[in-house]
Structure 1
Amino acid sequence: MRYIRGGDRNQASFLPARIDDYVAADAAVRVIDAFVEGLDMFGLGLVRATPAATGRPGYDPRDLLKLYIYGYLNEVRSSRKLERECRRNVELMWLLGRLAPDFKTIADFRRDNAAGIVGACRAFVLFCREQGLFAARLVALDGSKFRAVASAKRIMGERKVAEEAGRIDQQIAAYLANLDSIDAGERADSDAEQTAAALQALRARRTDLDALAARLKAEDRTSLVEGELDARPMGKGAGSKPPSYNVQTAVDAATGLIVHHEVTTEPTDNRLLHPMAKATKDAVAADTLTVVADAGYSNGADAAACENDGITPCVPANRAVNNQGDFFDRTAFIYEPQTDSFRCPAARTLVRKQILTRKQSVLYIADDCSGCALKPRCTRVERRFVQRHLYEDALQRMNARVEADPHLMRQRRCAAEHPFGTIKRMTAGGRFLTRGLTNVKTEAALSVLVYNIMRVINLIGSQSLKIRLA
């Protein structure tokens, strides 16, 4: 038996005369080319959208945007790796007309055109809406943590800053004493120079720590990530939490397209229901919108705000659980709106006592629990307390929608979790390469744009999409 053998490397051959012949007719790179060529570079605000009249010609921003979209589509995000691909990747040679910009030019484009790249992502969503590719009758919200370019060791709190500042003060005092001993003796000048250099470095570090402490106080925060001040420690559980960003998406449940996304510094999703729902409604220009999310988005104030803006939220209410004993749950107490009071299982009244501003709830207290036969099943203290959320009615309506249609949560899982799985696979498990909120928003926009392009290709085919983009 023989093996399949390749051709002789030194054998002359007649290769296709056109580089276009090497690119498949249904290749995604042709879709990228058609999409970017149809964008208004000047309207997006890209640098060099209009070429300068004098000086050396620069690269067309269309070419650099194509390069980044193609790179993120193929999991090549580093500017140095993109530079190498330009010289060996046939599809990139076709896409860029055999241009090979250096890595600095590539990196500068992503840094200097944050708003324009985000606008390009938005432009594709608008294109999909105009083509009727999604109706946004039901939108699923979800969030996921993406790692920032910083180590957990760089997280600095007030205590850690104070401890390091104390150690540096001791080191500075020791170096000053060493300089005094050098001056008093006849030691070499090189020792004095080394001590002075170390002293200068310690003082510079002490200045940095003072700046961190001042920022902690000014922003009323418990911790900062040194070197990546926009990131926050995020994660579940009681262990250490790595510096991260909270990436939010709103996904059309029917098609799986991401119709809106945002990168936030909120550690949890609790305060993001209304901001994300309102931004999604504006993005799709809908009169009404139904959004479904998990219990992490449960927020009475946001639920009421959504209803006021024509948005129907469907979120399981996240209620506190009484873990102090086997006592009557708050659901056993009946609220009477006419008198703004509660009726307990023993038919006694709990009257309004005070508003708990931080908890956004009202506290009710029983008039008298003495002699009640049900008291052992109700409380250990003298009188029973019950809290009612300030937006209890909105919470109940929101929760009732989910209970009335359990299929909603299955739709949410199928729609919202798949995009994050795909994007995290393309971004090394959900890791940003750049620093600062503005730059990571640019990265997120590229990832979302690439995901949406892939999704539309799967829905209608690359040939059909290319024709619509033309």
Structure 2
Amino acid sequence: MGYIVGTDRGQASLLPARIEDYVAGDAPVRVIDAFVDGLDVEALGFGRAAPAATGRPGYDPRDLLKLYVWGYFNEVRSSRRLERACWRDVEAMWLLRQLAPDFKTIADFRRDNGPAIVGACRAFVLVCRDAGLFSARLVALDGSKFRAAASAQKIMGRQEIGREAARLDATIAAYLAGLDAADATEPDDAPEAVEAALAALRARRTELDLMAARLDETDRTTLVDGEEDVRPMGAGRGPKPPSYNVQTAVDADTGLIVHHDVTDEPTDRRQLHPMARATKASLGRDALAVVADKGFDNGAHASACERDGIIACVPAQRSVNSQGDGTLFDRTAFTYEAASDSFACPAGRRLLRKQLQRRDRAVIYASPDCSGCALKPRCTTAARRLVTRHLDEEALNRMDARATPQMMRARRCAVEHPFGTLKRMTAGGRFLTRNLKGTRTEMALSVLAYNILRATNISQAAA
């Protein structure tokens, strides 16, 4: 018995098969095609949204957007690989109707239409909202680090800038001395190669001066050469690679990403209120419940969320009394009385308001006199006991009380899976483009591809 035999490659066909027949009726690429065709690309701000009256015809921005969304959906992000896919992938051929733009055209489209691509990602969220896919009973927030295109070897501090500047100064001086010697021997023969090298060295020296000035302006300790928006960040004890902090707000019931952002903030502490407020606006709700881990704990943001009708569920990070090997009274042993704006200690004495720390948004309370107190050995080793209270203490307590174990389990189940999928789509969480403008464009394409995948799965499961 022989093997299954395919069609003869040289066999002529009277009625050749349509490319339409190679794409399944429920393939996600059809969703990409229908969604992009329905976009108002001119209102979103895409370049060449209307064809020019003169000159060589260009590509429809819808076709290039379809190609990019399909590429990120299938983990093909490089413009050169997308160019090759237009010639050899049946889905790409079907999607672009056998158009094959070159890689430069593809790359320029992503570079020049960043805000419009972000707008297209938000437009799909609105489509899902209007279709009733969002229950929005609970939204989970989280942040994750994505590696930048820049290498860790490009991280430079003041010492590295100073060393390279000194090395360049010595090289420039050597080149100038060589030019003087050349002028003395052959005054009519200008060493053009030396002049070009000298110009390059001077340009690099200017870049170093600008980097040093930026360190002074931003009060930072390091910069990444070639990608000024990125910061070294991450977890663990080793050196921190250049990365961006990607924030997502995920609908806990459907797993769809309602809102996202790419920031250069190394932590999540200042992301709770802006992410929750933007999510609430995207959903068009009067009230919203959000849950996040303790990395989002922020008293000022807790109060701001309450003012905006956002119910935040975030565990509060409380400091503990580490003096006396941790055996002394913790701050929880002291009772605050709002009427007198003072604390009552376990011995019944009063701690009065002493100092306001505006930067930390906290008030320090101190006991006027702890002498003669029988509980002092169990309270403090100092002359008198101090207790700190946050200006947003009540809002923090309410936010912490709502962060029940059930809420935190719901957060984990909702927000971890989307990040896993996004990192798989982006080669383990690595950007190809540079700076916030480029990375925000890339993340918008990734989130749009993820949401299309998720919405397709939800629709197929419901059918």
Q: 1:16 to 1:26 in 2, by over 3 A?
A: farther
Residue type matched to 2:401 in 1? A
> Aligned with 2:339: secondary structure?
coil
Residue type matched to 1:323 in 2? S
1:391 and 2:392 matched: yes
> Aligned with 2:438: secondary structure?
helix
Deviation at 1:16, TM superposition (A): 4.7
**Residue pairs, 1:69-80, within 5 angstroms:** 69-80=69-80
**What is the aligned partner in structure 1 of residue 330 from structure 2?**
329
Residues 300 and 394 in structure 1, CA contact (< 8 A), matched pair in contact too? yes
1:271 and 2:270 matched: yes
- The gaps in structure 2 that reach 5 residues or longer are none
**Residue pairs, 1:179-194, within 5 angstroms:** none
Deviation at 1:204, TM superposition (A): 2.4
CA displacement, residues 401-448 of structure 1 (integer Å, 9 cap, x when unaligned): 11xx32100000011111000010010011111112112111111111
Distance in structure 2 (CA, Å) of the matches to 1:167 and 1:341:
61
Comparing 135-144 with 5-14, greater Cα deviation is found at 5-14
Deviation at 1:323, TM superposition (A): 3.0
Q: 1:37 to 1:140 in 2, by over 3 A?
A: same
Deviation at 1:6, TM superposition (A): 4.0
Deviation at 1:214, TM superposition (A): 1.3
> Aligned with 1:172: secondary structure?
helix
Distance in structure 2 (CA, Å) of the matches to 1:229 and 1:81:
28
Residues 31 and 462 in structure 1, CA contact (< 8 A), matched pair in contact too? no
Distance in structure 2 (CA, Å) of the matches to 1:286 and 1:273:
17
TM-score normalised by L of structure 2: 0.94
**What is the aligned partner in structure 1 of residue 81 from structure 2?**
81
**Residue pairs, 1:135-150, within 5 angstroms:** 135-150=135-150
Q: 1:179 to 1:61 in 2, by over 3 A?
A: closer
Residue type matched to 2:373 in 1? C
Q: 1:42 to 1:176 in 2, by over 3 A?
A: closer
1:401 and 2:402 matched: yes
**What is the aligned partner in structure 2 of residue 439 from structure 1?**
438
**Residue pairs, 1:197-276, within 5 angstroms:** 198-276=197-275
Residue type matched to 2:399 in 1? M
Distance in structure 1 (CA, Å) of the matches to 2:308 and 2:320:
31
> Aligned with 2:439: secondary structure?
helix
Q: 1:110 to 1:183 in 2, by over 3 A?
A: closer
Deviation at 1:372, TM superposition (A): 2.3
Deviation at 1:9, TM superposition (A): 3.6
Q: 1:44 to 1:390 in 2, by over 3 A?
A: same
**Residue pairs, 1:310-321, within 5 angstroms:** 310-321=309-320
Provide the identity percentage: 68
Comparing 322-331 with 129-138, greater Cα deviation is found at 322-331
1:367 and 2:378 matched: no
Comparing 220-229 with 171-180, greater Cα deviation is found at 171-180
Distance in structure 2 (CA, Å) of the matches to 1:127 and 1:51:
27
**Residue pairs, 1:417-456, within 5 angstroms:** 417-456=416-455
> Aligned with 1:212: secondary structure?
helix
Deviation at 1:374, TM superposition (A): 2.2
Residue type matched to 1:79 in 2? S
Comparing 65-74 with 149-158, greater Cα deviation is found at 149-158
**What is the aligned partner in structure 2 of residue 468 from structure 1?**
none
**What is the aligned partner in structure 2 of residue 350 from structure 1?**
351
Residue type matched to 1:445 in 2? A
Residues 148 and 243 in structure 1, CA contact (< 8 A), matched pair in contact too? yes
**What is the aligned partner in structure 2 of residue 281 from structure 1?**
280
Residue type matched to 1:392 in 2? E
> Aligned with 1:461: secondary structure?
helix
Distance in structure 1 (CA, Å) of the matches to 2:235 and 2:375:
39
CA displacement, residues 231-274 of structure 1 (integer Å, 9 cap, x when unaligned): 11111234321111111111111111111111111111001100
Distance in structure 2 (CA, Å) of the matches to 1:341 and 1:279:
38
Residue type matched to 1:39 in 2? L
CA displacement, residues 94-141 of structure 1 (integer Å, 9 cap, x when unaligned): 111111011111111111111221111111111111111112121000
**What is the aligned partner in structure 1 of residue 110 from structure 2?**
110
> Aligned with 1:328: secondary structure?
coil
Q: 1:133 to 1:328 in 2, by over 3 A?
A: same
Distance in structure 1 (CA, Å) of the matches to 2:109 and 2:174:
48
Distance in structure 1 (CA, Å) of the matches to 2:282 and 2:193:
60
Residue type matched to 1:269 in 2? D
Q: 1:143 to 1:379 in 2, by over 3 A?
A: same
Distance in structure 1 (CA, Å) of the matches to 2:82 and 2:114:
18
Distance in structure 1 (CA, Å) of the matches to 2:405 and 2:125:
29
**What is the aligned partner in structure 2 of residue 379 from structure 1?**
380
CA displacement, residues 315-374 of structure 1 (integer Å, 9 cap, x when unaligned): 000112333322211111111111111111222221111011222111111111222232
Distance in structure 2 (CA, Å) of the matches to 1:313 and 1:252:
14
Deviation at 1:392, TM superposition (A): 0.5
Residues 114 and 441 in structure 2, CA contact (< 8 A), matched pair in contact too? yes
> Aligned with 1:70: secondary structure?
helix
TM-score normalised by L of structure 1: 0.92
> Aligned with 1:354: secondary structure?
strand
Residue type matched to 2:411 in 1? R
Q: 1:114 to 1:201 in 2, by over 3 A?
A: closer
CA displacement, residues 126-157 of structure 1 (integer Å, 9 cap, x when unaligned): 11111111121210001111111101111122
Distance in structure 1 (CA, Å) of the matches to 2:125 and 2:197:
55
**What is the aligned partner in structure 2 of residue 121 from structure 1?**
121
Residue type matched to 2:379 in 1? C
Q: 1:305 to 1:175 in 2, by over 3 A?
A: same
Residues 26 and 462 in structure 1, CA contact (< 8 A), matched pair in contact too? no
Residue type matched to 2:248 in 1? T
Q: 1:338 to 1:49 in 2, by over 3 A?
A: same
Distance in structure 1 (CA, Å) of the matches to 2:317 and 2:26:
47
CA displacement, residues 71-116 of structure 1 (integer Å, 9 cap, x when unaligned): 1110001111000000011111111111101111111111111122
Comparing 149-158 with 288-297, greater Cα deviation is found at 149-158
Distance in structure 2 (CA, Å) of the matches to 1:65 and 1:27:
18
CA displacement, residues 378-401 of structure 1 (integer Å, 9 cap, x when unaligned): 222211111111110100010011
Distance in structure 2 (CA, Å) of the matches to 1:253 and 1:399:
19
**What is the aligned partner in structure 1 of residue 157 from structure 2?**
157
